[in-house]
Chains A and B, each alone.
Chain A
Amino acid sequence: MDFADLKTQAEREWQWLENPPQPLIQIGTGTCGRASGADKVMESVRKTLKKIQVMARTMEVGCIGMCYLEPLMTLRKRGHPPILYGNLTSAKAADIITRFLLDGDLCLELSICTLGEQSRNGIPRLQDHPMMRTQCRIALRNCGLIDPSNILHYIARGGYQGLSRALQMDGAEVAEVIRKAGLRGRGGAGFPTGLKWELTLKEKAEAKYIVCNADEGDPGAFMDRALLEGDPHSVLEGMLIAAHAIGAAEGFIYVRAEYPLAIARLEKALEQMQRCNLLGKSVLGSKFDFNVHIQEGAGAFVCGEETALMASVQGSRGLPTPKPPYPAQSGLWDKPTCINNVETLSNVSAILENGAEWYAASGTKKSKGTKTFSLAGKIRYTGLIEVPLGTTLKEIVYDIGGGAPNGKKIKGVQTGGPSGGCIPASLFDLTVDYESLAEAGSIMGSGGMVVLDQSTCMVDVARYFLSFTQAESCGKCLPCRLGTHQMLRVLEEICEGRGKPDYLELLRGLSETVQKGSLCGLGQTAPNPVQTTLRYFLDEFDRHITDGKCDAGVCLPLFHYEIDPQLCNGCGLCRRKCSTGAIVGERKEPHFIDQAKCSKCGICLQSCKLEAIGIH
């Protein structure tokens, strides 16, 4: 079948979906959705349809990014705009299906928004939702809207158009398009993608390789998972375009084993590509031959580093090697190799479809286009977002993320995972792009953003990241292996209340040594979380060391809970919740905490409706 036929078939199927003859129910079944109960919702929907005897189709879609509302369901019925419902349970889903399909009741109270251009009965459109209003979706263009296991949906939305265009150009021309678009690596370092391709293309060799880095190891980041689960073809198309540009006939996707659903979706996608002549000999009738292998990672963070990743693909321990030689010169099996991140490749397919100028229109002077971020931590609207580069942190945290839940005060945001840093709320006017984040001492990283509020202890955050990098250090370079270990010990002592004033100087010194004396990015950036917390949250270190206090109530030896007898009305809620029996008091009389029995689990603090329990 040639591409034109495929496209016609795809468009027919898509039209059916846009204006379905029978109702269509789409449920988001990404990992987040499933964890929140999407499977049960799906089961309940199917049962209900049987019970009310309505012919309707159900379909699995990926994650639309509003993870705090999971599980999500879209109901499509002729004569109505598609309506999205959230925070579902089996019972709520059954209720909506019955009322909507039998009585035409739109169930306004459970609706979130409509999809598309129309609103209905006061239900706002998706693009008017506070979380979505300022977003600009390029990499995530199809996530949550298409069935990721149906290649026709992807094609109908413009998929593989870019590839078919690229196949009519030569490699240098394709690389030129990407260079003009100004796309930079989305894995974190921000190396210009077009330049990387040109360098690999320039090398003369009998074989070259393209690698897709889907080893999303940064704790706190899940953009790549959501993208692979929700729209695997956009990444695979980008990979084919990259392979054609650099002259590679074989590619590897290195994906974390912790992402079983992403792996399953990729496998399914590859199978469909085979059938559609998008893989194998002469792709889409051109002279380009290409094959892809999926390589599962095995839980080593350092394998996100490109030289370590290549060692792992070749079946060795994932130890980094010095650069140069760069992978573009000597990579997998000493052949020129180009390694691109998942999101980068998804952008590539969009750029080839829509053109370099279109892409370069968004973003800043040096950082073009959009970037996806996973918003998590102490924030109201957690989820996956995509914004033009140059958006301020304030817009992301307050406008899109809705600020902290329960009216708490936001302290800062952690970007870039263990290689990044903590940016205080006072710097939230900072624009998000590669340069300004680096200036603030953090990095863009792959796009994890963990919001921290007043109940987060910054010393503990620094300790947490060091415990991570210390455990993940591969051990090759001594300054990294022992330096992170020493830094962790110092931080642990501070958290346990045994910190001394000269420890801060010690931390600064160790940071510098680890940074300068390590071969790969892991060690070079491991001190970043410590350095930024020392720079912006020095007062918290001082409180820990000088006063022996942890005001956030995180470092166990440095605080205790107390009930304010003036505020306590003796309702007994905290006493009943306390699992160690540490709270005593008569009914309707102020209660007290027996400090000897208290395990500081904090359940009392959460349960008190009068805020009578304080951290001291």
Chain B
Amino acid sequence: MQIQEAHDLLDPTWPQVLIMEDEVSVAKGLGMVLSEEGYNVDLAMTGRSALDTFNQKMFDLLIADLRLPDIDGMEVIKQVKRRRPDTEVLVITGYSTVTTAVEAMKLGASDYLSKPFTEDEFLSAVKGALVTKEFMAADAAATPLEPLPEDSLRLTEVLQQIRQRFTGRQQEVITILQMVQNAVGYIPIEALQQVADFTRMPEAAVYGIATFYERFRLSPVGRHVVKVCRGTACHVKGADKILHEIEHRYKLSPGQTSKDRMFTLETVACFGSCAIAPVVVVDDKVSADMDPDKVGKVMKDLALNDPKFEPR
């Protein structure tokens, strides 16, 4: 049974969820809650039909009741995890005991919810389970990000320091722009004007410098900048595959920032850490010997430890 048809505009990039629950009213209710939030939901009333549906489609999350009319819910989880280990599992049940909870976790369930629960508890458990699948940062911001209110404050501060430290000669201009970018994260347009003023250079010349050098950015970045090294050693050891993985998982291309401002993806010509290639540099910390799997973990840890992180 599917309730997807009710939604005309389904976003295929949103998580696919399978709800396995034998009580029709509960199943439909949970299904409604999730599809209102934008998830793509399938329902299954028995363990067998759940496994059948599972065989036909890829799911990101299985929400499993343990008491079913035909097979044991645990058995379903076991089979699902064996076939596609990357499927997340959230267990819901009315007969919760510590032992069943532990058993479900051992099978790889990411959370456990005992009935009755509120809609909010349910939603946050679902989001929590999907965090591990990193759906939170999907969708890159197509247009440049808006500046944050604190940006102009930081700019004023750093410009003050610059005026004290430098004399305004042209040879200082690159160092000055570096300082601005380090303080604000990018070079705002008004900074270009002020730097031109201070160094007595034409604005066009300062703009020319800011656009010539690869390192300078003219628009805001996310809270974490992920840089994939594309040096020769990294290239022959699979840097492209790492880049594809990030592009695929977070729907980001180099130079883009995720909508939630969590990540900005960039590439760098070479970090000179070729002996431990391939490397990825996240917030100036070099991670050695990366592969598509490891880079996913590095980014997930970052997101989970970010104070502003909100699972969708």
Cβ B288 vs Cβ A35 within 8 A: yes
A464 & B288 in contact (Cβ 8 Å cutoff): no
Q: Is A602 an interface residue (CB 8 A)?
A: yes
Contact assessment for A315 and B171 in the assembled complex, using a CB-CB cutoff below 8 Å:
yes
Q: Is the beta-carbon distance between B214 and A376 smaller than 8 angstroms? A: no
Q: Is B3 an interface residue (CB 8 A)?
A: no
Residue B165, interface by CB 8 Å:
no
Given the interface pairs A225-B272, A295-B175, A298-B213, the reply to whether A317 lies near B287 with Cβ below 8 Å is no
The closest CB in chain A to the CB of B270 belongs to A219
Chain A residues, CB < 8 A from B159: none
A377 touches B232 (CB 8 A): yes
B308 within 8 A of A: no
When C-beta atoms are compared, the residue in chain A nearest to B296 turns out to be A579
Task: Given A296-B174, A314-B170, decide whether A260 and B288 contact each other with a Cβ distance below 8 A.
Answer: no
Q: Which of B13-21, B23-31, B65-73, B275-283 contacts A (4 or more CB under 8 A)?
A: B275-283
- Measured in the bound complex, the distance between the Cα atoms of B273 and A465 in whole Å is 18
Contact of A258 among B205, B234, B268, B288 (CB under 8 A): B268
Q: CB within 8 Å of A: which of B232-274?
A: 232-238, 241, 244, 268-274
The residue on B at minimum CB distance from A580 is B58
Contact A450 B286 (CB under 8 A): no
Tell me whether B284 is interfacial, beta carbon within 8 Å.
yes
Q: Is A148 part of the contact surface with B, judged by Cβ < 8 Å?
A: no
Which of B86, B208, B209, B233 meets A376, CB within 8 Å? Answer: B233
Q: How far is the CA of A445 from the CA of B257 in the complex (A)?
A: 36
Contact A414 B272 (CB under 8 A): no
Q: How far is the CA of A456 from the CA of B238 in the complex (A)?
A: 10
Partner of B276, one of A36, A316, A601, A603: A36
| A32/B273 in contact, CB under 8 A | yes
Residues of B within 8 A of A493 (CB): none
A interface footprint on B268-312 (CB within 8 Å = 1, 0 otherwise): 111111111101000011111100100000000000000000000
* Complex contacts, B178 vs chain A, CB 8 Å: 257, 296, 298
Per the bound structure, the CA–CA distance linking A221 and B233 in Å amounts to: 9
The answer to the question of A496 belonging to the interface, with a C-beta cut-off of 8 Å to chain B, is no
Q: What is the minimal beta-carbon distance from B283 to any residue of chain A, in angstroms?
A: 12
Q: Are A300 and B214 in contact (CB under 8 A)?
A: yes
> What's the minimum C-beta distance from A581 to chain B, rounded to whole angstroms?
6
A318 at interface (Cβ–Cβ under 8 A)?
yes
* B231 touches A (CB below 8 Å): yes
Return the chain A residue nearest B81 by Cβ.
A576
Q: Report whether A221 and B272 are in contact in the complex, using a CB–CB cutoff of 8 Å.
A: yes
Cα–Cα, bound, A471→B286 (Å) = 24
Residue B212 CB within 8 A of the other chain: yes
- Determine how close the nearest CB of chain B comes to the CB of A584; give it in whole angstroms: 10
Residue of B212, B236, B271 contacting most chain A CB atoms (<10 Å): B236
Q: Which of A219, A300, A318 has the most CB of B within 10 A?
A: A219
A201 at interface, CB cutoff 8 A: no
Judged by a CB distance under 8 angstroms, whether B84 is at the interface is yes
> Do A377 and B236 touch across chains, with their CB atoms under 8 A apart?
yes
| Count class of interface residues, chain B | 35 or more
Bits for B191-206, please: 1 = Cβ < 8 Å to A, else 0. 0000000010000010
Residues of B within 8 A of A216 (CB): 272
Q: Known: A35-B288, A300-B212. Contact between A222 and B279, CB under 8 A? A: no
Interface size on A, residues (CB 8 A): 63
CB distance from A524 to the nearest CB of B (A): 19
Given the known interface contacts A315-B170, A464-B235, A601-B292, the answer about A222 and B213 at a Cβ–Cβ threshold of 8 Å is no
A220 in contact with B231 (CB, 8 Å) = yes
Task: Pick the contact of A257: B208, B215, B230, B289 (CB < 8 A).
Answer: B215
Residues of A with C-beta under 8 A to B135:
none
Listed stretches A42-50, A108-116, A378-386; interface member: A378-386
**Interchain CA distance A225-B82 in the complex, whole Å:** 47
What string of 1s and 0s marks CB contacts (under 8 Å) between A539-561 and chain B?
00000000000000000000000
Contacts A220-B233, A315-B209 given: A376-B170 contact, CB under 8 Å?
Answer: no
Contacts A32-B276, A296-B175, A313-B171; A452 near B213 (Cβ below 8 A): no
Complex-state Cα separation, A259 to B175, whole angstroms: 15
Looking at the assembled complex, report how far the CB atom of B79 sits from the nearest CB atom of chain A, in whole angstroms.
12
Q: What is the distance, in angstroms, from B309's C-beta to the closest C-beta of chain A?
A: 24
A330 within 8 A of B: no
Most buried by A among B173, B205, B209, B279: B209
| Chain B residues with CB below 8 A from A448, complex form | 232, 274
Residue A301 interfacial (CB < 8 Å): yes
**Which of A224, A312, A375, A576 is in CB contact (< 8 Å) with B85?**
A576
Q: Which of B84-128 contact A (CB under 8 A)?
A: 84-86
**Contact surface of A with B, Cβ cutoff 8 Å:** 31-32, 34-36, 67-68, 70, 216-222, 224-225, 256-260, 295-301, 312-318, 374-378, 382-384, 414, 417, 448, 450, 452, 456, 461, 464-465, 468, 471-472, 474, 576, 579, 581, 601-603
9 CB contacts below 8 A, A to B, read A35-B288, A67-B275, A217-B269, A219-B230, A220-B270, A222-B274, A298-B213, A314-B170, A378-B237
Q: Which residues of B contact A (CB under 8 A)?
A: 58, 82, 84-86, 169-175, 177-178, 199, 205, 208-209, 212-216, 230-238, 241, 244, 268-277, 279, 284-289, 292
Contacts beyond the supplied A36-B276, A474-B212: 16 A-B pairs with Cβ under 8 Å: A32-B276, A34-B286, A35-B288, A67-B275, A219-B235, A220-B232, A257-B178, A258-B270, A298-B216, A312-B174, A315-B174, A318-B212, A448-B274, A471-B269, A601-B292, A603-B292
* Among all A-B residue pairs, the 6 with the closest Cβ atoms: A67-B275, A298-B213, A220-B232, A299-B214, A376-B274, A219-B231
